[in-house]
Amino acid sequence: MTQTFVVEAEVRALQGTGASRRLRREGKVPAIIYGGNDAPQNIQVSQNELMKQLRVEAFYSHILTVKVDGVEQQAVLKALQRHPVRDETILHADFQRVVADQLLRKTVPLHFKGDATAPGVKLGGGMIEHHQNEVEVECLPANLPEFIEVDLSAMKLGDVVHLSNLNLPAGVSLIELKHGADITVASCHLTKAGAGDSEEGDAEGDDAAEGEEKKD
């Protein structure tokens, strides 16, 4: 079942630092909704309700319904400013309207699977390192993925997964690749312990060979 999110908001009449502080004391978050074919609107949302939704990973990469004084608008969460010390306190939120026939850019998470069963880990004594946890995509709103799955179950020692190796949903492209940056997403390499065992094994082999030479 497709998940849906509704953000209840009100028009924010007062602006400025002082007004924003008063709003936060009242349990509200100052925010803005912009983009699309309409003018930007200063809005306010409930701190508690927004925090509940932010605890759901899908909220960050879904098309949201933002109801401003009862009027529905489709948007994505574009930016979030948290308190530098109190992470549970949201200082400001930006929502960007989406239009069905206009491309949008959004950051979506990567979901990795198969780490434990990869040959490089299970048989080679290595480990898999995740270099990226999210990617920026470009697509039409209808094609926006909740996440992109990365299957690492076939990785051997020395293997590297780049952005160009990801299986993307139809209609989705990666911004980094458009700029020619095929960055590393994951790699499989020996752990320090595994590398030490290998070096020790090589040394023992050298000693044995040297002993045989002396016997000769």
**Residue among 87, 55, 73 nearest 7 (CA):** 73
- DSSP β-bridge partners for residue 65: 6, 74
Under a CB-based contact definition with an 8 Å cutoff, are residues 5 and 53 in contact? yes
Structural domains of the chain sorted by starting position, each given as residue range(s) with its CATH number in brackets = 6-99 (2.40.240.10), 106-196 (2.170.120.20)
What CA–CA distance (Å, rounded) separates 54 from 61?
A: 11
Encode burial over 153-175: b for 16+ CB neighbours within 10 A, e otherwise: eebebebebbbeebebeeebebe
Helices (DSSP H) in the chain: which residue ranges?
A: 17-25, 47-54, 119-122, 175-178, 192-215
Q: What is the dihedral of CA 75, 81, 85, 89, to 10 degrees?
A: -40
pTM of the full predicted structure?
A: 0.80
What CA–CA distance (Å, rounded) separates 101 from 139?
A: 10
The beta-strand segments (E) located in 35-89 are: 41-46, 64-68, 71-82
Going residue by residue through the chain, which has 216 residues, state the pLDDT in tens, using 9 for 90 and above: 467 999 999 999 877 788 888 888 999 999 999 999 899 999 999 999 999 999 999 999 999 999 999 999 999 999 999 888 876 789 999 999 999 999 999 999 999 999 999 999 999 899 999 999 999 999 999 999 999 999 999 999 999 999 999 999 999 999 999 999 999 999 999 986 655 554 554 545 455 445 455 444
What CA–CA distance (Å, rounded) separates 27 from 70?
A: 20
- CA gyration radius, the chain: 25
